[in-house]
Structure 1
Amino acid sequence: MVFYIGRRLAFALITVFAAVLISFLLVHAAPGSPGAVVLGPSGTPAEIAAKNHELGWDQPLVIQFFKYVGGLFRGDLGTSLIDGHSIAADMATRLPVTTAIALFATIFSGAFGIVLGVTAAVRQGWLSRLVNSGSAVMISLPAFWVGILLVYFFSIQLNLLPATGYVSFADDPLGWAKSLVLPVLTLTLGGAAIVARTACAGMQAALRQEHMRTLRALGTAPWRIRYIHALRLASLPVVSVLGIQFIALFGGSVIIETLFALPGIGQASQAAVSSHDFPALIAVVIAATVVVVIVNLLLDLAVAALDPKLRTA
């Protein structure tokens, strides 16, 4: 197990380093320069060249890269070219927003999806057909369309929840919870449908295993067969789906954050791309990569704990 964890940690570090290197090279290969972004259209070629020299943009790429990596080890992500604010401080305020949305949506998707899927697999009949058909409909609905419907119902018609905006937990915990309900619910509906289908299929396959029939023949209690032995087997694909779902929600949060006006990573990436803010763009890529790598590492460890055979794979 120690060797397995060490190997996964090595892969994680290599992945983060590769993401930093590739994003750094792509930004430098793109047209434009920091001097042109800072000075704008009014900057002359001489002024732009002087600004690039001041920012170190004309130094060899190797020197620039190692300077940037050294800053990363110190927690320095650079400063924005647009307004000069600290990118690290900006990421520190935006990361919790996107993480909270993705995390809560994944948790609720897992809870509701597992209950529905396992119940449908155990009960069979019309309930299984209802869960499968209903989940197919929910998966096909675009998230932004679901979000608009929820805003119309809960915000406009019932006036129960805010339609847009974000409140910090430190300022108002209740307001923070209310500002997250609609975005999380929007993502939970589709996510729960995916988990329900996965849990139902996994549970049905597990109950058909040969050793399940052996347990029945030995007189093992039905609840123990279903909710301990079979559920353990069915949990492998469910855990994998939940991990992938969190990564997808975290990385693809632009639409939801734009729809609900949330100051998260997705909104920051959109702003960095549109304004050609190179340091902010690299920081967003690095932050997203680190989160994805950590989640993948935890997912590998969780799957290995559920299936010890994978540790030697």
Structure 2
Amino acid sequence: MLVFIARRLIAGVLLVFAIATVAFFLLAAGGTSIARTLLGETATQEQIAQKMAELGLDRSPLVRYGDWLAHALRGDFGTSWLSNTRVTTALLDRLPVTLSIAIGSVVITALLAICLGVLAAVRRGWVDRIVQVLAVAGFAMPGVWLALLLILWLAVDNQFFPATGYVPMTGSLGGWALSITLPIVAIALSSVAATAQQIRSALLINLEADYVRTLRSRGLPERSVIFRHALRNAAPNALTVLSLQFINLLGSTVVIEKVFALPGVGSMILDATVAGDSPQVLGVVVLMVLVVIVVNLAIDIAIGWLNPKVRAQ
């Protein structure tokens, strides 16, 4: 198991390095355009040259990359060109917002998908058809459209939840829960049905396997056959799908945070990209990749625990 985890960690480190390097040189190609974006269209060539020298953009990309990498390895992503604040500090302030939404969405997606997937596989009939219809509808439903409907129905018309804003958990636990409920629902609903469809398919394959017929012939209760054996063997496929859905959910937070005016990492990277704030963009990119790698590592460990064959591959 330790060798399995070590391989995954090495692959994750290499992935972070590769993505950070590509992102840096793509942003570094901006040069003059970044300085012009920061100063405005009316800036003169003199002002642009002065700004580039101030930001260090007059140095070669390789020199700048070496300097950035040396600091990034110590957890220092530099200073925002726009707000003049430390990027690491800004990320740590905004990360709880994004993680609250992303983790909450994954938990809701997993719980509802397991319930619907098991029902569809066991009951078949109309339950199965409803799950399949919901899978298509959820895939086709834009998250922004759903978010706006939730705001109009549950925040504006009925005032059950706040329409916008975020309350820190340390300020009020109830206020925090209310402020993230609608964003979580808006993100999770588009993924629940598709994940349930995958769980249904994996569970159906296992329910038709020879070992399940053997277990039933030995007189094991149906609930034990389904949940202790068939569902456990179907879990690796479900976890793989869930890991892919997490990446999708994390990407959805970028737009959803803007819709609900949440001060998270997603809205931070949008503002930084529009403003040409490269240090913030790079900091968010590295952080997001790290979060995805940690989650995928946890899921890989869970799959390896459920299926020893994976550890040997």
**2:24 maps to which residue?**
24
Shift of 1:28: 1.0
8 Å CA contact retained: 1:106, 1:191: no
Separation in structure 1 between the aligned mates of residue 41 and residue 204 of structure 2, nearest angstrom? 63
Shift of 1:44: 3.3
Alignment of 1:13-92 (within 5 A): 13-32=13-32, 35-92=35-92
Residue 126 of structure 2 aligns with an amino acid whose one-letter code is W
Shift of 1:108: 0.7
Separation in structure 2 between the aligned mates of residue 145 and residue 43 of structure 1, nearest angstrom? 39
**1:305 maps to which residue?**
305
Structure 1 residues 238, 67: CA separation in 2 closer, same or farther (over 3 Å shift)?
A: same
Taking structure 2 as the reference length, the TM-score comes to 0.94
**2:202 maps to which residue?**
202
Deviations 1:133-180 (A, max 9, x none): 233323322111211221122112211111111122222222111110
Separation in structure 1 between the aligned mates of residue 153 and residue 277 of structure 2, nearest angstrom? 38
**1:283 maps to which residue?**
283
* Larger deviation, residues 128-137 vs 206-215: 128-137
Taking structure 1 as the reference length, the TM-score comes to 0.94
**2:127 maps to which residue?**
127
Deviations 1:212-231 (A, max 9, x none): 11112222222211111101
**2:178 maps to which residue?**
178
**1:271 maps to which residue?**
271
Separation in structure 1 between the aligned mates of residue 194 and residue 297 of structure 2, nearest angstrom? 22
Flag structure 1 segments of 5+ consecutive residues without an equivalent. none
* Larger deviation, residues 164-173 vs 100-109: 164-173
RMSD over aligned Cα atoms: 1.8
8 Å CA contact retained: 1:34, 1:57: no
Shift of 1:31: 4.8
Structure 1 residues 53, 140: CA separation in 2 closer, same or farther (over 3 Å shift)?
A: closer
Separation in structure 2 between the aligned mates of residue 20 and residue 131 of structure 1, nearest angstrom? 40
- SS of 2:113 mapped into structure 1: helix
Shift of 1:35: 4.3
Alignment of 1:216-231 (within 5 A): 216-231=216-231
Separation in structure 1 between the aligned mates of residue 162 and residue 302 of structure 2, nearest angstrom? 37
Shift of 1:34: 5.2
Separation in structure 2 between the aligned mates of residue 264 and residue 160 of structure 1, nearest angstrom? 23
* Larger deviation, residues 13-22 vs 291-300: 291-300
Separation in structure 2 between the aligned mates of residue 66 and residue 50 of structure 1, nearest angstrom? 22
Deviating above 4 A after TM superposition, structure 1's stretches of 4 or more consecutive aligned residues are none
Structure 1 residues 89, 116: CA separation in 2 closer, same or farther (over 3 Å shift)?
A: same
Deviations 1:23-81 (A, max 9, x none): 11111112525544444445433343233233322223332212111211332211111
Alignment of 1:89-238 (within 5 A): 89-238=89-238
8 Å CA contact retained: 2:207, 2:230: yes
